[in-house]
A and B are shown apart, each in its own frame.
Chain A
Amino acid sequence: MLSFAAFPAPGRRARLSDFPSKDANPSPAPAGDAVIEVRDAHYSIGGRKIFDGLDITARRGRITAFMGPSGTGKTTLLRLITGQSTAERGSVKAWGQEVSRMSSPELFALRRRMGMLFQNGALLTDEDVYENVAFPLRAHTKLPESLVRQLVLTKLQAVGLRGAARLMPSELSGGMARRVALARAIVMDPELLIYDEPFVGLDPISMGVICRLIKQLNDALGITSIVVSHDVQELSSIADDSFLLSGGRVVAKGTPAELHKSDLAEVRQFMEGLADGPVPFHYPAPDLARDLLGEEA
């Protein structure tokens, strides 16, 4: 049972009744300022173009989804936003500041305003769950141990894993590890939460739990969320804005409902999971008959 009863939201105490149930039809969050702005971004890896004039915006208080087939650069986009990589051309701004021009201390200051959930959780394997969640607090604050304990247990309670505080990462299931990583990502009360493929490899129950946590955390803490995934079904239930990436550009944007109604071939193939289309099923290869007969291409 997910409960946020003990969750200390900044400025107010969150109540369970504050959060919409999964079945309820959530009303779209009000539009706000741009937290992340990417304009005409170009980026390539090893001569292969990943982004060719990418434009995206993530607005304050909303859940923004970046979707697209594998290899379209969704994770690379997160690396640009967090300053781990730099765009060759164009602009990537976080809270109005150009990320590529930031010095190392400025980048670290920027990252303290962000929390990131990695695809595999990225928990510190030699520390238990409690120490993993306490890690950012110990690194950045000099809080007394009693307060650290309160904060850690509160965040673990929020993700339903207070009872697993003394387990090691190797003792956790994939879904549990991701929830611990989520607790760690929110322990410093970030303004922006970034989720990199949060649903990959999860069973339907864990997927539902993570999905609901993303929505509830976003609403309870009043933060901005960016979710990178190719799980259309789950994203559609929580995202306020969606961007569909393909061929280094945004091929469609809008609410998930608008994307579902789109007539564009790229959008239809992705949203309906069609095997063939603009993204071909077959990797480029010589003629099958010639190949089978052993003729050189």
Chain B
Amino acid sequence: MSAQVDSMPIAWLRRVGSMSLFFVQVCARSVASFTKPGLIVRQIYNAGARSLVIVMLSGLFVGMVLGLLGFDTLQRFGSEDSLGVLAALGMLKVLGPVLTALLFAGRAGTSLTSEIGLMKSTDQLTAMQMMAVDPLRHVIAPRFLGGIIAMPLLAATFSVIGLFGAQLIGVQQMGVDAGAFWSQTQNAVDLRDVTEGIVKSLVFGVACSLIAVYEGYHSEPTPEGVGLATTRTVVTSSVMVLLLNYLLTAAFLTKS
């Protein structure tokens, strides 16, 4: 038991080291994989377009809940006209990037891990090596880049749909003035808020994509191994997204 506890930090450190090394290797191959943009576009479609429905639906419902709760709270202070500001800043700075990243990890991340894990267990990656083709360059780098590019686009979609959902509840149902809703939103949201959302979604995109491809590439080539790797992808990505969200929020607040 003691040995197990002792080895946990070492195993964790080894894992962080291995993932960092993998990150450097993938980044080095990513430059070369731009010479075959078709592979990257295909992965943007797989990670992005195929996640669009779940992201849009989630964004709508989250926005609607935000509209309901925001209206309920703000009307106590007689400032329900500020609902648009609350919804826009909440969506852009936190809810959009964070929830999209969690959805991305659950939908696209697991798909990436299991796909790469299955390619490994069916010798497809070894076959590539035997054909003198580097799987890191041909399989991993395009998927990694596809995830990074898809994430901010998905987060932007989530925020826009979420704002629409908040407007639907606040303006259409609760009777908040539409002019006040949109004009206050326009006045309160500036470029720095949008930048914060974009930076966060990019960082989350790097983290989630890296974890997904790393877990797939290093999974045990068995059905159980691929299953475990997929689970690790969701758990590690979720924790990393929440941790990074705290660090980035603190960094942006300090900067302002």
CB within 8 Å of B: which residues of A?
82, 84, 108-109, 111-112, 114-116, 118-120, 122-125, 135-136, 139-140, 181, 184, 188
Chain A residues with Cβ under 8 A from B119's Cβ? 124-125
Asked whether, in the complex, the Cβ of B123 is within 8 Å of the Cβ of A120, the reply is: yes
- Min Cβ gap A155→B in Å is 14
Contact of A111 among B118, B124, B130, B138 (CB under 8 A): B130
Distance A115 CA – B127 CA, assembled complex (angstroms): 10
The yes or no answer to B75 lying at the interface (CB within 8 A) is no
Query: Could you tell me the distance in whole angstroms from the C-beta of A191 to the nearest C-beta in chain B?
Result: 13
- Which residues on the A side are within 8 Å of B130 (C-beta)? 82, 111, 114-116
Contacts of A181 in B (CB 8 A): 127
A111 contacts B126, CB within 8 Å? no
What's the nearest-Cβ distance from chain A to residue B136, in Å? 11
Contact of A84 with B124 in the complex, beta carbons under 8 Å = no
- Chain B residues with Cβ below 8 Å from A112 are 132
B127 contacts A116, CB within 8 Å?
yes
Whether A122 contacts B133 by the Cβ 8 Å rule is: no
Evaluate contact between A122 and B124: CB separation under 8 angstroms.
Answer: yes
C-beta contact mask, B130-144 vs A, less than 8 Å → 1, else 0? 111110001000000
B124: chain A residues at CB < 8 Å are: 122-125
Within 8 A of A (CB), among B101-132: 118-119, 122-124, 126-127, 129-132
7 cross-chain CB contacts under 8 A: A111-B130, A111-B132, A125-B124, A136-B131, A140-B132, A140-B133, A184-B131
From A122, A124, A136, A188, B126 is in contact (CB under 8 Å) with A122
Alpha-carbon separation in the docked complex, A116 to B122 (Å): 14
Other A-B contacts than A136-B131, A139-B138, 19 sampled, CB-CB below 8 A, are A84-B129, A108-B134, A111-B129, A111-B131, A112-B132, A116-B127, A116-B130, A118-B126, A119-B123, A120-B123, A122-B124, A122-B127, A124-B119, A124-B124, A125-B124, A136-B132, A139-B131, A139-B132, A188-B131
Residues on the B chain within 8 Å of A111, using CB = 129-132
Which B residues lie within 8 Å of A122 (CB)?
Answer: 122-124, 126-127
Q: Which residues of B contact A (CB under 8 A)?
A: 118-119, 122-124, 126-127, 129-134, 138
Residues from chain B with a CB closer than 8 A to the CB of A84 are 126, 129
The 3 A-B pairs of least Cβ separation, nearest first, read A122-B127, A122-B123, A108-B132
Residues of chain B within 8 A of A125, CB atoms compared: 118-119, 122, 124
Smallest Cβ-Cβ distance to B42: which chain A residue = A126
Which residues of B sit under 8 angstroms from A140, Cβ to Cβ?
132-133
Question: How many whole Å from B237's CB to the nearest CB in chain A?
Answer: 23
| A118: chain B residues within 8 A (beta carbon) | 123, 126-127
B91 CB, min distance to chain A CBs, angstroms: 35
Q: Which residues of B contact A82 (CB under 8 A)?
A: 130
* Chain B nearest Cβ from A134, distance in angstroms: 12
- The CA-CA distance from A84 to B126 in the complex, in Å, is 9
Which chain B residue lies CB-closest to A110?
Answer: B132
- Minimum CB–CB distance from A132 to chain B (whole Å) comes to 10
**Is the pair B131, A135 in contact by a Cβ cutoff of 8 Å?**
yes
Expressed in whole angstroms, the minimum distance between the Cβ of A27 and any Cβ of chain B is: 32
Cα of A201 to Cα of B83 in the assembled complex, Å: 66
Q: Which A residues touch B127, using CB under 8 A?
A: 116, 118, 122, 124, 181
